[in-house]
């Protein structure tokens, strides 16, 4: 290999290395930790000082802007996908009058050599290269032999046994010796200018050259070697059960390491960053991307972890490349006048009949769904000067907003029905809830609730903008909330929540305030399905109570209302469940369960708990009685929460979960207590141990 070619290859490899470094440029260290040594980023779980790395295997030493693993292995780069590149030394022996010579080069790493990304290579005449491991006794893990005499022809770039041989890397190698042996029986080969070499090298990095048989070869310097790394000591399924030790953070996924016990984390689709750090995976705004990461033809709307394609006004379709795209709604011209005339006549007749059927069908649904009653109620509200209430949307408006309720606009789905993202003609983004069924016997109640709920204007309640009654099942139109649910941020995929305690307490205060406002509205509103999945969060993590699909209005002269029991298992008030009598204290009980979720981070129902404590409420009360609260509080809550503050919130939750509703506080009292606790400046830490630990 001549010098020009060699320099060109080195330059190309430099570009590749720069690309790798750029790819991991979003990686971060732990907060407050230095995460750069020279030009190299050091992402967590790696780190350079105490408290900044996962364990000693991940310690990186930085000396004069040079990075080292295990104190002596030069690090080239670290990839969050589970690879780390180091420089590996070469075992070399040159011509000797003794006839044969052996050279050993030890190599010890905290992570195994990658079997798929590296090769073991030996170069020389009459040369044997081997990797030897000591496990009670020394044995050869892998080896190859290279021969050369004047009858063989050396071929540059070929490593098939003539002058150069190569073989695989065994699995799990961490501590071993590279051995090179050469028999210099030929007097010609005893010249010190002739050398033999053995080394581990990243696959595709080394090309054999006949120059490498000589001691002055410019190609033989320490080579890059890829190590495989992983975290944990179990596979994903087992690791997820250990919440305190599970390392994959929010918006990330776990996948098993094929190199042994352990696992890797990666950001979920639509997110990027460091999955090992709290809040390390950030939403990718595909709509601002110029690399072609979205397939929208016209308008792109970014949402958390995904995006929605929309068509501009005057167009219809799915708005996607490779799909229907956006089609103009105007008829194509270019036919002969006679064909156009015939087409127009047929079309007018067909669409006239079809439109009449559609209009009649929509009119029927509108009446069945209480449309006339809603119009009258809204007219009365307007005459009385009430705040602007619900808007009645047409089916066509909502079809245009959602690309005809296309799959690309679906943002939520469950037993209740489907939620679509849509964009109205004024560019306002909304969430449209399409339920699966409707109770025709409750239409009057439904219409009254739409009118009342649409008049609630509270910063912590999702605004009901209106409804569409021209469809078989009424459609409800809400403001669009961007940052998923509280349930997602506490429990998503079994990970340890990254929500700080102060944020949890603020969300609790805001939610309590919203429910207190509903309970004191001119007509009392009982939500009836308070749960963490019905508390949405916006970009500033402000709580927004949502989903009033099963809420009920209670006349001012009534304190309880007999109803068909509805709600969610685990949050349901036991008194309401057994009596069928719904009161505002039923919401108080459900909110108490949410408070316990915020304190413990535990699921509302778990088969892993004793049978009598599988429900979170009973588990919490039992733990208090046994003095075990400290053991069930989530680690981050224990670490960040003030002792008196945590005791206070615990007492509030305990009062909310009293079995007799009359002994529970009102939501107004709950909100005031939580607000006072949040505003208090209290001592941190050890007092909690003293109070709750027997």
Sign of the torsion formed by the C-alpha atoms of 665, 668, 669 and 674: positive
Contacts of 502 (CB under 8 A, 6+ apart): 640
Looking at residue 335, what is its pLDDT?
44
pLDDT confidence band for 337 (50 / 70 / 90): low
* Residue position matching structure tokens 């179990």: 234
Q: Which of 345-359, 384-398, 451-465, 651-665 has the highest mean pLDDT?
A: 651-665
678 and 547 both lie in a single domain: yes
652 and 522 both lie in a single domain: yes
Contacts of 44 (CB under 8 A, 6+ apart): 28, 29, 30, 33, 35, 52, 53, 54, 274, 276, 277
Is the Cβ–Cβ distance between 597 and 532 less than 8 Å?
yes
Cα dihedral 654→658→664→665 (10° resolution): 0
Q: How much is the CA Rg of the chain, to the nearest whole Å? A: 35
565-582 mean pLDDT: 82
- Of 432 and 377, more confident: 432
Let me know if residue 346 belongs to a domain. Answer: no
138-163 mean pLDDT: 86
Token pair in block for residue 207: 């090309």
- CA–CA gap between residue 545 and residue 226 (Å, rounded): 50
- CA–CA gap between residue 405 and residue 468 (Å, rounded): 14
Let me know if residue 350 belongs to a domain. Answer: no
* Residue position matching structure tokens 């699966």: 436
Catalytic residue positions, numbered: 529
How many domains are contained in the chain?
Answer: 6
400 and 455 both lie in a single domain: yes
Let me know if residue 364 belongs to a domain. Answer: no
Looking at residue 202, what is its pLDDT?
96
pLDDT at 562 over 50: no
Contacts of 402 (CB under 8 A, 6+ apart): 409, 420, 421, 422, 432
65 and 156 both lie in a single domain: no
Cα distance from N-terminal residue to C-terminal residue, the chain:
76
Is the Cβ–Cβ distance between 400 and 425 less than 8 Å?
yes
Let me know if residue 558 belongs to a domain. Answer: yes
CATH number at residue 279: 2.10.25
423-446 mean pLDDT: 80
Token pair in block for residue 439: 């109770």
CATH number at residue 446: 3.30.200.20
160 and 262 both lie in a single domain: no
Whole-number mean pLDDT of the chain?
A: 83
pLDDT at 314 over 80: no
Residue that is last in its domain, among 192, 210, 228: 228
474 and 492 both lie in a single domain: no
- Of 446 and 638, more confident: 638
Question: Alpha helix locations (H) across 601-666?
Answer: 616-625, 629-632, 635-640, 643-656
> Of 208, 207, 197, 184, which is closest to residue 126 (Cα–Cα)?
184
- Of 648 and 688, more confident: 648
For the chain, percent of residues with pLDDT exceeding 90: 39
Look at residue 151 and give its three-state secondary structure: coil
570 and 636 both lie in a single domain: yes
558 and 655 both lie in a single domain: yes
Token pair in block for residue 631: 């053991």
Residue that is last in its domain, among 204, 228, 252: 228
11 and 56 both lie in a single domain: yes
Let me know if residue 342 belongs to a domain. Answer: no
292-319 mean pLDDT: 85
How do 164-167 and 138-146 pair as beta strands? Answer: unpaired
Looking at residue 19, what is its pLDDT?
40
- Of 40 and 97, more confident: 40
Let me know if residue 304 belongs to a domain. Answer: yes
pLDDT at 530 over 90: yes
Looking at residue 687, what is its pLDDT?
45
58 and 172 both lie in a single domain: no
How do 464-468 and 391-392 pair as beta strands? Answer: parallel
Looking at residue 558, what is its pLDDT?
46
462-471 pLDDT per residue, tens = 988 989 999 8
pLDDT at 117 over 90: yes
Looking at residue 664, what is its pLDDT?
96
462-512 pLDDT per residue, tens = 988 989 999 888 888 999 998 888 998 888 744 545 689 999 999 999 999
pLDDT confidence band for 338 (50 / 70 / 90): low
- CA–CA gap between residue 620 and residue 592 (Å, rounded): 11
Look at residue 352 and give its three-state secondary structure: helix
501 and 632 both lie in a single domain: yes
pLDDT confidence band for 681 (50 / 70 / 90): low
Q: What residues make up the domain containing 12?
A: 3-81
Look at residue 668 and give its three-state secondary structure: helix
Burial status of residue 49 (CB atoms within 10 A of its CB: 0-12, 13-18, 19 or more): middle
Is the Cβ–Cβ distance between 72 and 108 less than 8 Å?
no
457 and 495 both lie in a single domain: no
Let me know if residue 684 belongs to a domain. Answer: yes
**Residues paired with 296 in a beta bridge:** 320
Exposure of 69 in the CB half-sphere (CA atoms within 13 A): 27
Let me know if residue 361 belongs to a domain. Answer: no
Helix (H) or strand (E) segment spanning residue 350 = helix 337-368
């Amino acid at each position: 290999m001549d010098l020009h070619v060699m320099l060109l290859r080195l330059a190309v490899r430099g570009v590749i290395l720069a690309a790798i470094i750029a790819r991991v440029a979003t990686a971060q260290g732990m907060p407050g930790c230095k995460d750069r040594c020279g030009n190299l980023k050091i992402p967590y779980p790696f780190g350079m000082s105490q408290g900044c790395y996962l364990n000693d295997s991940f310690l990186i030493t930085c000396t004069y802007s040079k990075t080292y693993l295990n104190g002596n292995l030069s690090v080239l780069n670290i990839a969050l996908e589970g690879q780390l590149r180091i420089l590996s030394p070469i075992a070399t022996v040159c011509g000797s009058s003794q006839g044969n010579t052996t050279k050993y080069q030890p190599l010890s790493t905290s992570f195994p050599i990658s079997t798929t990304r590296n090769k073991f290579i030996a170069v020389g005449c009459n040369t044997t290269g081997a990797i030897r491991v000591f496990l009670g006794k020394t044995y050869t893990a892998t080896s190859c032999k290279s021969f050369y005499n004047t009858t063989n022809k050396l071929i540059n770039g070929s490593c098939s046994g003539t002058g150069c041989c190569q073989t695989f890397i065994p699995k799990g190698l961490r501590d071993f010796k590279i051995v090179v042996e050469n028999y210099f029986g030929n007097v010609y080969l005893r010249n010190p200018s002739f050398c033999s070499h053995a080394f581990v090298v990243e696959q595709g990095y080394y090309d054999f050259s006949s120059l490498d048989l000589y001691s002055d070869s410019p190609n033989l310097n320490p080579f890059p070697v890829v190590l495989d790394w992983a975290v944990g000591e179990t596979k994903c399924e087992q690791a997820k059960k250990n919440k305190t030790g599970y390392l994959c953070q929010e918006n990330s996924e776990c996948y098993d390491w094929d190199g042994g016990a352990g696992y890797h984390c990666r950001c979920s689709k639509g997110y990027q960053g460091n999955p090992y750090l709290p809040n390390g995976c950030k939403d990718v705004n595909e709509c601002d991307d110029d690399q072609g990461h979205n397939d929208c033809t016209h308008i792109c709307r970014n949402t958390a972890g995904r995006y929605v394609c929309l068509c501009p006004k005057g167009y219809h379709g799915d708005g996607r490349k490779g799909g229907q795209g956006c089609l103009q709604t105007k008829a194509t011209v270019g036919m002969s006048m006679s064909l156009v005339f015939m087409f127009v006549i047929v079309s007018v007749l067909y669409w006239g009949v079809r439109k009449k059927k559609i209009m009649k069908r929509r009119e029927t649904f509108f009446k069945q769904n209480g449309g006339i009653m809603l119009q009258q109620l809204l007219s009365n509200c307007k005459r009385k000067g009430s705040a602007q209430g619900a808007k009645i949307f047409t089916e066509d408006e909502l079809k245009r907003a959602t690309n005809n309720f296309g799959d690309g606009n679906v943002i939520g789905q469950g037993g209740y029905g489907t939620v679509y993202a849509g964009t109205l003609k004024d560019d306002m983004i909304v969430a449209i809830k399409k339920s699966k069924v409707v109770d025709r016997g409750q239409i009057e109640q439904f219409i009254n609730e739409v009118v009342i709920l649409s008049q609630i204007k509270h910063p912590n309640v999702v605004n009901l903008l209106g409804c569409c009654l021209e469809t078989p099942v009424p459609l409800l139109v809400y403001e669009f909330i961007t940052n998923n649910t509280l349930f997602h941020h506490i429990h998503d995929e079994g990970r340890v929540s990254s929500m700080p305690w102060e944020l949890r307490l603020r969300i609790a205060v805001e939610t309590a305030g919203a429910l207190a406002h509903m309970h004191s509205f001119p007509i009392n509103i009982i939500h009836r399905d308070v749960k963490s999945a019905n508390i949405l969060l916006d970009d500033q993590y402000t709580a927004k109570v949502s989903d009033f699909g099963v809420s009920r209005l209670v006349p001012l002269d009534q304190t309880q209302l007999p109803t068909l029991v509805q709600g969610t298992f685990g949050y349901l008030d036991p008194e309401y469940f057994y009596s069928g009598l719904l009161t505002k204290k039923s919401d108080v009980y459900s909110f108490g369960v949410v408070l316990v979720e915020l304190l413990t981070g535990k699921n509302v129902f778990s088969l892993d708990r004793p049978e009598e404590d599988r429900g979170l409420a009973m588990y919490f009360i039992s733990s208090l009685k046994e003095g075990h609260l400290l053991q069930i509080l989530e680690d981050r809550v224990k670490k960040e929460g003030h002792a008196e503050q945590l005791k206070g919130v615990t007492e509030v939750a305990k009062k909310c979960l009293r079995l007799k509703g009359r002994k529970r506080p009102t939501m107004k009292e709950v909100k005031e207590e939580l607000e006072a606790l949040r505003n208090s400046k209290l001592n941190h830490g050890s007092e909690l141990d003293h109070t709750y630990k027997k």
